[in-house]
Structure 1
Amino acid sequence: MCVKVVCVGGGPAGLYLSILLKLQDPSHDITVHERNPEGSTYGWGVTYWRGLLDRLHAHDPESARAVEENSVRWRDGVAHVRDLTTRHSGDEGFGIGRHRLLEVLAARARALGVHLEFDHEVTGDDLPDADLVVAADGVRSALRTRHAGHFGTEIRAGRNHYVWLGTPQVFDAFTFAFVETDHGWIWAYGYGYGAEGSTCVIECAPETWTGLGLDRADEAEGLILLEKLFADVLDGHPLTARPTSAAPPAPWLTFRTLTNRTWSKDNLILLGDAAHTTHYSIGAGTTLALEDAIALAGALRAHADLPAALGAYERERKAALLPVQSAARYSARWYENLPRYLGLPPHEMFALLGQRHSPLLPYTPPRLYYRLDRAAGRLEPLRRAKRWLGPRVARTVQSRTLTTRR
Structure 2
Amino acid sequence: MVCVGGGPAGLYFSILAKLSNPKHDVTVVERNPAGVTYGWGVVFWDDLLDDLFQNDPVSAQRIAQAAARWDTQEVHLRGRYATHIGGYGFALGRDRLLDILIRRAKGLGVDVRFEHDVTDLSAFMDADLVVACDGVNSRLRQRHAHHFQTHVEEGRNKYIWLGTNKVFDAFTFAFEETSAGWLWFHGYRFNSETSTCIVECQEATWKALGFDAMGPDETLRKLEGIFQGRLQGKSLFNQLKGMGRAPWLNFKRITNERWYHDNLALMGDAAHTTHFSIGSGTKLAMQDAIGLARQLRAQPDVPTALEAYDEERRASLLAIQLAARSSSEWFENVPSYVDQDATRFAYSLLNRRGSSVWSYLLLMASQQPSLQGMLRTLHHSKQWVREQRRGRGAVALSLPPPG
Q: Same fold (TM over 0.5)?
A: yes
**TM-aligned CA distance change 1:283 to 1:99, over 3 Å:** same
Q: Which residue of 2 aligns with 1:88?
A: 84
CA distance in 1, matches of 2:363, 2:15: 45
Q: Given the alignment, which residue of 262, 268, 271 partners 1:272?
A: 268
CA distance in 2, matches of 1:279, 1:205: 15
CA distance in 1, matches of 2:118, 2:96: 24
The residue identity in structure 2 corresponding to 1:165 is L
Q: Which residue of 2 aligns with 1:178?
A: 175
Q: Which residue of 2 aligns with 1:101?
A: 97
Query: How many residues are matched?
Result: 364
What are the residue-to-residue correspondences of 1:64-83 with 2, within 5 Å? 64-83=60-79
CA distance in 2, matches of 1:175, 1:250: 23
Q: Given the alignment, which residue of 227, 230, 236 partners 2:224?
A: 227
The residue identity in structure 2 corresponding to 1:269 is A
CA contact (8 A) 2:186 2:197 kept: yes
CA contact (8 A) 2:40 2:162 kept: yes
CA distance in 2, matches of 1:168, 1:35: 29
Q: Given the alignment, which residue of 283, 289, 292 partners 1:293?
A: 289
What are the residue-to-residue correspondences of 1:159-238 with 2, within 5 Å? 159-238=156-235
Q: Given the alignment, which residue of 123, 129, 133 partners 1:132?
A: 129
Give the deviation of 1:86 after TM superposition. 3.1
The residue identity in structure 2 corresponding to 1:187 is W
Q: Which residue of 2 aligns with 1:141?
A: 138
What are the residue-to-residue correspondences of 1:19-30 with 2, within 5 Å? 19-30=15-26
Give the deviation of 1:337 after TM superposition. 1.1
SS at match of 1:26: coil
Q: Which residue of 2 aligns with 1:34?
A: 30
CA distance in 2, matches of 1:148, 1:347: 45
SS at match of 2:252: strand
CA distance in 2, matches of 1:66, 1:78: 29
Give the deviation of 1:371 after TM superposition. 5.4
Where has structure 1 moved over 3 Å in runs of 4 or more? 244-250, 369-375
CA contact (8 A) 1:76 1:87 kept: no
Coordinate RMSD, CA, aligned: 2.1
- Among the aligned pairs, what percent are the same residue? 51
What are the residue-to-residue correspondences of 1:235-246 with 2, within 5 Å? 235-242=232-239, 245=241
CA contact (8 A) 2:215 2:245 kept: no
CA contact (8 A) 1:348 1:370 kept: no
SS at match of 2:33: coil
CA distance in 1, matches of 2:51, 2:163: 28
The residue identity in structure 1 corresponding to 2:198 is V
CA distance in 2, matches of 1:71, 1:371: 32
Q: Which residue of 1 aligns with 2:388?
A: none
Give the deviation of 1:313 after TM superposition. 0.7
CA contact (8 A) 1:165 1:250 kept: no
Greater C-alpha radius of gyration = 1
TM-score (ref. length: structure 2)? 0.86
**TM-aligned CA distance change 1:300 to 1:227, over 3 Å:** same
CA contact (8 A) 1:42 1:247 kept: no
SS at match of 1:194: coil
CA distance in 2, matches of 1:360, 1:78: 18
Q: Given the alignment, which residue of 41, 56, 68 partners 1:45?
A: 41
| Structure 1: tracts of 5 or more residues without a match | 362-368, 378-406
CA distance in 2, matches of 1:219, 1:327: 32
Give the deviation of 1:372 after TM superposition. 8.9
**TM-aligned CA distance change 1:250 to 1:107, over 3 Å:** farther
The residue identity in structure 1 corresponding to 2:176 is V
**TM-aligned CA distance change 1:18 to 1:238, over 3 Å:** same
CA distance in 2, matches of 1:371, 1:172: 25
SS at match of 1:20: helix
CA distance in 2, matches of 1:214, 1:250: 8
Give the deviation of 1:42 after TM superposition. 1.4
Give the deviation of 1:291 after TM superposition. 0.5
CA distance in 2, matches of 1:141, 1:38: 20
1:340-369 Cα offsets, whole Å, 9 max, x none, are 2212222221122110001699xxxxxxx9
Q: Given the alignment, which residue of 7, 13, 22 partners 1:17?
A: 13
SS at match of 1:237: coil
CA distance in 1, matches of 2:53, 2:359: 37
SS at match of 1:154: strand
Give the deviation of 1:152 after TM superposition. 0.7
**TM-aligned CA distance change 1:191 to 1:374, over 3 Å:** closer
CA distance in 2, matches of 1:173, 1:350: 15
CA contact (8 A) 1:125 1:146 kept: no
1:357-387 Cα offsets, whole Å, 9 max, x none, are 01699xxxxxxx9759979x9xxxxxxxxxx
The residue identity in structure 1 corresponding to 2:41 is G
CA contact (8 A) 1:334 1:356 kept: yes
| Structure 2: tracts of 5 or more residues without a match | 367-403
1:47-89 Cα offsets, whole Å, 9 max, x none, are 1111111111111111001001111001210111013213434
TM-score (ref. length: structure 1)? 0.86
CA contact (8 A) 2:216 2:244 kept: no
SS at match of 1:91: coil
CA distance in 1, matches of 2:25, 2:121: 22
Q: Which residue of 2 aligns with 1:364?
A: none
Give the deviation of 1:125 after TM superposition. 5.3
SS at match of 1:29: coil
Q: Given the alignment, which residue of 325, 331, 334 partners 1:329?
A: 325
